[in-house]
Amino acid sequence: MSRIPATFERLTRTGRKALIPFFSVGDPSLPLCVPIMHAMVAGGADIIELGIPFSDPMADGPTIQRSSGRALKNGVTLRDVLKSAAQFRHEDGTTPVVLMGYANPIEQMGRERFASQCAEAGVDGVLVVDYPPDEARDLGKLLGARGVDSIFLLSPTSTESRIKEIAALATGYIYYVSLRGVTGASHIDPQDVAHHIARIKAVSKVPVGVGFGIRDGTTARQLAEVADAIVIGSRIVEEIEASPINDVPANVGALINRFRQAMDA
C-alpha cells in the first residue's frame, strides 16, 4: 500500500484538503530538487508531484515546457528523477511522492524495470499523461503489485462511461483537469469544476484532486470546497523562474505556505 491513502485519511480527520505542488526534477538544478521538496513539505504540502522532463511535453503550456527544457539542458534523466525520489524518501518517510511525465522515457527504461525502480525509490504513485488505461494495462498491474498507485486524469470532456472506466482502475487519487487546455492556462470556472467533480465523486472510490490553471489562494480555496486535493504546477514554476537560484527552496516554500493558509482559512 502506498502512503497516499493514509495521507488523505489524516487530512479528512483534521478537516483539511490536500495541497499537491508540482515541479520538474532538475529545474532550476538537480542538486536543488530534494531541498525544494523539503521546503514544500515545510510550507504545508501533503503530496509532491515530481515532473519527469520530456523533450515534447504535448499537454503542457509554455511555463512547464520551459521548465522541462531547463531540466533537460541540465542533463536530467528518468534515472535522476528516481534517484532524487529515493534520496527524499530516505529523509522523509511519510510524504507521498508521485511521478508525472510522458510515456517515452518509461518505454525506453522498460515498464517492468520502471515499476520496480519506483517501488525501490519509495515512489507512491505514477501519472503518465499519454498512457491512457487501454494502452498501459500492464503498467498498472506492475505498479499495483509493488504497492505503487496508478493516477489517472479525467477532463471536462470525459464521458459518463469514461469516468466509470477510469474510476474502476484508479488508485491513490484521480486528477481532474479543470479546464479545456494545457497546464498553466487561466480561464478556470469554479462552478463548472464543482459540477464535474460531483459527477466523478459519485462513482470514485478514491479522492479527487483538481489542477491546471490554479494560480492564487482564492481559487485554491474555492476549489478545495468541492475537491479533495488541489494541484499547483505552473505557478510554482513561475516562482522558480523569478527567484535567484539560491533562494528557490525558500521562495517556493513560502508560496506553498500562502496557498496552505488560504486553503485552511
Partner 1 sequence: MKIYDMPDLEGHFGPYGGTFVSETLIAAIDELKAQYLHYRDDPKFQAEFAYELKHYVGRPSPIYHARRLSGFLKGAQIYLKREDLNHTGAHKINNTVGQAMLARRMGKQRIIAETGAGQHGVASATVAARYGMECVVYMGSEDIKRQAQNVYRMKLLGARVVPVESGSKTLKDALNEAMRDWVTNVQNTFYIIGTVAGPHPYPMMVRDFNSVVGRECLAQMLEMAGQQPDVVLACVGGGSNAMGIFHSYIPDESVRLVGVEAGGEGIATGHHAASLSAGSPGVLHGNRTYLLQDSNGQIIETHSISAGLDYPGVGPEHAWLKDTHRAEYVAINDDEALHAFHTLCRMEGIIPALESSHALAQAMKMAPAMDKDKILLVNLSGRGDKDMATVAEYSGITF
- Catalytic positions are 49, 60
Question: Residues for the chain: how many in total?
Answer: 265
Report the DSSP beta bridge partners of residue 230. 19, 210
CB of 238 to partner 1, least distance (A): 17
Backbone angles phi, psi at 247, to 5 degrees: -90, -5
CB of 224 to partner 1, least distance (A): 22
The residues binding partner 1 (CB under 8 A) are 54-59, 61-62, 65, 69, 72, 77-79, 102-109, 129-132, 134-135, 152-155, 157-159, 162, 166, 177, 180-182, 185
Strand arrangement, sheet containing 125-128: 149-150, 125-128, 97-101, 48-51, 18-24, 229-232, 208-211, 174-177, 152-154
Q: Which is nearer to partner 1, 11 or 200 (CB)?
A: 200
> Which candidate, 193, 188, 229, 224, places its Cα nearest to that of 208?
229
Torsion angle, alpha carbons of 84, 86, 90, 91, to 10: 30
C-alpha 52/C-alpha 82 separation (Å) is 9
CB of 121 to partner 1, least distance (A): 17
Q: Which is nearer to partner 1, 78 or 231 (CB)?
A: 78
Q: Which is nearer to partner 1, 88 or 114 (CB)?
A: 114
C-alpha 250/C-alpha 38 separation (Å) is 10
Q: Which is nearer to partner 1, 30 or 106 (CB)?
A: 106
CB of 82 to partner 1, least distance (A): 12
